Amino acid sequence: MAAPIQFGTSGWRDVLGEGFTFDNVRVLTQAIAEHLQATKEASKGVVVASDYRFLAERFRSECSRVFAGNGITVHDLGFAPTPAVAFAIIDGGFGGGINFTASHNPPEYNGMKFSPAWGGPALPETTKAIEKLANAPGAIDRVKRIPVEDARAAKKIVDLDAKAKYLARLESLIDLGALKKLKLVYDPLYGSGRGWLDAALKKNGANFEMLHDERDPTFGGTSPDPSEKRLDDLRARMKATGANLGLATDGDADRFGLLDQDGSFVLPNYVLAVLFDYLVGDRKFAGGAARTVSTTHLIDRVGKHHGREVAEYPVGFKYIGKAIAEGKIAIGGEESAGLSIRGHVPEKDGILACLLAAEAVARRGKPLMQQVHELWEKVGKVVSSRVNVAYDPERRDDVAKRVRAFPKEFSGRKVERVDETDGVKLLLEGGAWFLVRLSGTEPVMRFYAESSEEKDVDKIIADGKKLILG
């Protein structure tokens, strides 16, 4: 029996040829079409796009045929980043959009990210309604589709070019001219950031080089994940060219990765805090910040320093996206390298994050980690860490029970408060904390810790693993 279609933290994804099949794509598209019809959004049309994974054009085509078969006009954005899809939906007043991507996951995966009319990731009430339709008996028999040729002839599938407007939005938010002071290297990791972030740099006369600027559905034989261990090529090129900053984005360019001028990886937690301080301190942005429960409390300290509020949400940018859409905050972010700012899309944007970090380096005239250390001097040192541990998905319920069985003391500290917003977070005396949660997209247990010293963080993580894993 096939596994049901189920949305994770950000969209539905599965292994190609196993769960991710043409039939399942048709079924899920039909369910989304029916949801749009039920919510009176279908008449506005939809955006469809993809990253560069295997069979990307075929999946886009089949999805478009189903929408067209349901009388919904498809605006084909082609190969595009997820934030550009979000921008196109809002700018065009469309009823929603789909991007075929598995984000930072390895090449054997693909996925469908659905964004409703407000442009952010679909909220749980929306995804649950769509799942119910997709997993109902006989769902495959409800699928309606027409040939692509007929749909294009009837203008039910039309091409969409949103790049110029998206780049104009970036130019309105970021001082791209300041980047001329820097030497940059950009690595899209073969993802759909290529042709978008580099276009912004090129248009504004930046001095930059680019890596992996060709289509490779295998992503060089690894995952398109802009984490420290995936950026060796970027690090080497920076060293060879004397670059000030290395920029990277993931498969669909909604996540970012940054290397400082010495080639060291700058944790997204630190980037978020520095950019919050930069936006409200240097650029006088209005509003506070929003972060997920797993994201650094250094952001809270920055907020307190500037007299700004910081809101906490469960993991998943969809919650932060709503705060962005409503204009409540200056910046929203999550430790897994997601960020957006006031005036931009309610979706994480790795392109924006890279360019904004480059602006902060250029205008402040200081490397990123120097800015982190100066921030610590102002608000106190905070060290963050995250460790992922795979587990047998058949033991998920057992693992979940063990996660919630915590003592009143942990790692030599009193547990002052337990937060079960998402997973179990132990707020410890002295300002340290530990969080364990199960990933919403893969059979992985995530351990997070934060304290004022690195050795304390290492001990907290080790004690957490011992307590849960034995």
Secondary structure (DSSP) of 63-119: HHHHHHHTTPPEEEEEE--HHHHHHHHHHHT-SEEEEE--TTS-TTEEEEEEEETTS
Q: Which amino acid is at 96?
A: G
Distance from C-alpha of 162 to C-alpha of 88, rounded to nearest angstrom: 6
pLDDT at 441: 64
Q: Are 297 and 319 in contact (CB under 8 A)?
A: no
pLDDT digits (tens, 9 = 90+) for 189-247: 999 999 999 999 999 999 999 999 999 999 999 999 999 999 999 999 999 999 999 99
Buried/exposed 22-50: b ≥16 CB within 10 Å, e otherwise: eebbbbbbbbbbbbbeeeebbebbbbbbb
Work out the end-to-end distance of the chain between its first and last CA atoms, rounded to an integer number of angstroms: 34
Q: Which amino acid is at 187?
A: D
pTM to 2 decimals? 0.95
- Per DSSP (E only), the strands in 362-412 are 383-390, 409-410
Strand 245-249 with 383-390, pairing: unpaired
Residue entry with tokens 């802009």: 226
Domains 12-161 and 383-469 share a fold: no
* CATH 3.30.310.50 matches 383-469: yes
* Residue spans per domain, the chain: 12-161, 165-379, 383-469
What CATH number is given for 165-379 in this structure?
3.40.120.10
CA distances to 276, 367, 383 from 298, in Å: 10, 19, 9
Sheet holding 383-390, edge to edge: 383-390, 444-451, 433-438, 424-428, 413-419, 409-410
Q: Are 368 and 274 in contact (CB under 8 A)?
A: yes
Residue 203 CB neighbour total at 10 angstroms: 14
Task: With H, G, I as helix, E, B as strand and everything else as coil, classify residue 446.
Answer: strand
Distance from C-alpha of 455 to C-alpha of 453, rounded to nearest angstrom: 6
Q: Are 180 and 205 in contact (CB under 8 A)?
A: yes
Distance from C-alpha of 340 to C-alpha of 336, rounded to nearest angstrom: 13
Number of residues assigned to the chain:
470
CA atoms 347, 348, 351, 357: torsion sign: positive
pLDDT at 466: 86
* Token output for 41: 């959004």
pLDDT digits (tens, 9 = 90+) for 335-357: 999 999 999 999 999 999 999 99
Helices (H) and strands (E) in the chain, counts: 15, 20
* CATH architecture of the domain with range 12-161: 3-Layer(aba) Sandwich (3.40)
Q: Which amino acid is at 193?
A: G
Sheet holding 310-313, edge to edge: 310-313, 288-292, 329-334, 338-341
List the pLDDT tens digit at each of the 470 positions of the chain: 367 999 987 899 999 999 999 999 999 999 999 999 999 999 999 999 999 999 999 999 999 999 999 999 999 999 999 999 999 999 999 999 999 999 999 999 999 999 999 999 999 999 999 999 999 999 999 999 999 999 999 999 999 999 999 999 999 999 999 999 999 999 999 999 999 999 999 999 999 999 999 999 999 999 999 999 999 999 999 999 999 999 999 999 999 999 999 999 999 999 999 999 999 999 999 999 999 999 999 999 999 999 999 999 998 898 899 999 999 999 999 999 999 999 999 999 999 999 999 999 999 999 999 999 999 999 999 999 999 988 887 777 777 677 677 778 999 999 999 998 888 899 999 999 999 988 766 778 899 999 999 999 999 999 998 888 76
**CA–CA–CA angle 168, 115, 118 (5° rounding):** 65
